[in-house]
Amino acid sequence: MMTRPEEESCATKSRSRERGKRLLPWLLALMLVTVSFAWGVAYTRHYVFPHSLISSLARWFHGADSQAPIAQSGSGGVSIRRPSSFELLQTLGYVGTSTANAANGQGASVVDAVRMQPGLSLYTTGHADVARLIDEAGALVHQWALPRDQVWWDSPLAQRQQFVGIRSATVLPDLSLLAIYDYLGLMKLDRDSTPIWIVRNGAHHDMWITEDDRIFLLNHHLAKVPEIHPNQQMVIDMVTVLDSQGNTIGEYSLVDLMLRSPFAFLLPSVNDLATDYPIDLLHTNSIQVFDGSLASLEPRLFAKGNVLLSLRNISTLVIADLDAGEVLWAWGPSNITFQHSARLLPGGSILLFDNGLEWSTAVEIDPLTRRRLWSWRGSDNDRLRSRIYGSCQRQPNGNTLIVDSMQARALEVSPEGQIAWTFLTPPLEDGRVPVLYSMTRYDRSYFQANQKSQR
């Protein structure tokens, strides 16, 4: 029986439709894979939607900067992505643990007994509200511990992040301790960890005690600053002055100080920024009050009562007269990046920890000539690498105690760059290593003088 041409045409079309139906799911799958790949590239490289949403949820759940994940690197340190400028203006989400030295041992090690500076070292970490004083061999001499959940805190940012660990501490000759619980407050503990007094003012990062026992403390509050943003909440960094009993006797706004200074141009333009987080414009992370001993070098700059401040988020150091509301000196942009722990040394130079973007450096500069006098970043195969935290302390013998926080270690380095002493933060039971927040070396005579006075 012969098939008519019309019937053949219909059969051919029917078969084509069947083939098309079978191919359609595969074509759709291929398109979905292609679009997903393209979107994934845009998500990771250019932060398109829903990058900000997922990151915000991660920060809310974990209290950490999920956009800067920690990963084991080949050298045993941490590999961290550079944050975007948007992230830097948000109140930072810190992390409390590192993978840096879990397999590399723990505790203190005297590398060169002749070169090292003897003394007791006070350190704090990012895993518990504890401060420990150790000797040169790492043996525990004294410990203070008071978990924050045993104390009622009153801070607008207390619920924003679950900070753990005493951020920094200062031990007094009688073994009482001044401890900063980051963004919550300052507490004075006696030698048995019993609270003597508490200041609930959002204290963070650093403090300085003057010869007359006043405490200059970094703290904050939230407010709107129309000159900077029409309606966005700002983190207003403050310097609050306390007496020895924790009573407030003075307050200074650092945002206002910078806005009224010749260096206001260093502040980023954020008037178009829209975010659920308070904008952290300065993120001040260290303070030192001058005692006037260097006034002969430059009377106005080094006058007694002036302060040296580290403004992390604009990569700037300033020297200011707080009472006059004047910024007298500023330095940093294009020279340092996201620095910490600026300290004026007895000879008139300034020592700081330059966090950098990939490598960190301990740096000493002359503030008058702005020349770099000394620096140390480690060796090519074992460099300092701490995107956040970090500090430096010059020792009486000329060595520098460097805290490489995100690699959970401290190193004492000679002026020639030789390592004399090391400390690796002991790991937790689950293998994680607490970030080393801070470490300060004290001469034994600092405590012995108090013991003699009590006899």
How much is the pLDDT for 273?
86
How much is the pLDDT for 160?
45
The span from the CA of 305 to the CA of 383, in Å, is: 36
How much is the pLDDT for 56?
38
- Both tokens of residue 77? 């340190």
How much is the pLDDT for 434?
92
For residue 96, give Cα distances in angstroms to 65, 127, 280, 432.
11, 6, 20, 10
Q: Which residues pair with 179 in a beta bridge?
A: 169, 187
**What residues contact 262, with CB distance under 8 A and at least 6 apart?**
327
The span from the CA of 53 to the CA of 36, in Å, is: 18
How much is the pLDDT for 151?
79
Q: Could you give the domains of the chain?
A: 87-453 (2.120.10.30)
Is it true that the peptide bond before 173 is cis, omega within 30 degrees of 0?
no
pLDDT tens digit sequence for 195-253: 999 999 999 999 999 999 999 999 999 999 999 998 899 999 999 999 999 999 999 99
How much is the pLDDT for 84?
38
Longest dimension (CA), the chain: 126
How much is the pLDDT for 38?
59
For residue 435, give Cα distances in angstroms to 25, 149, 179.
50, 21, 17
Positions of the chain with pLDDT under 50: 41-49, 51-94, 99-104, 159-160, 452-455
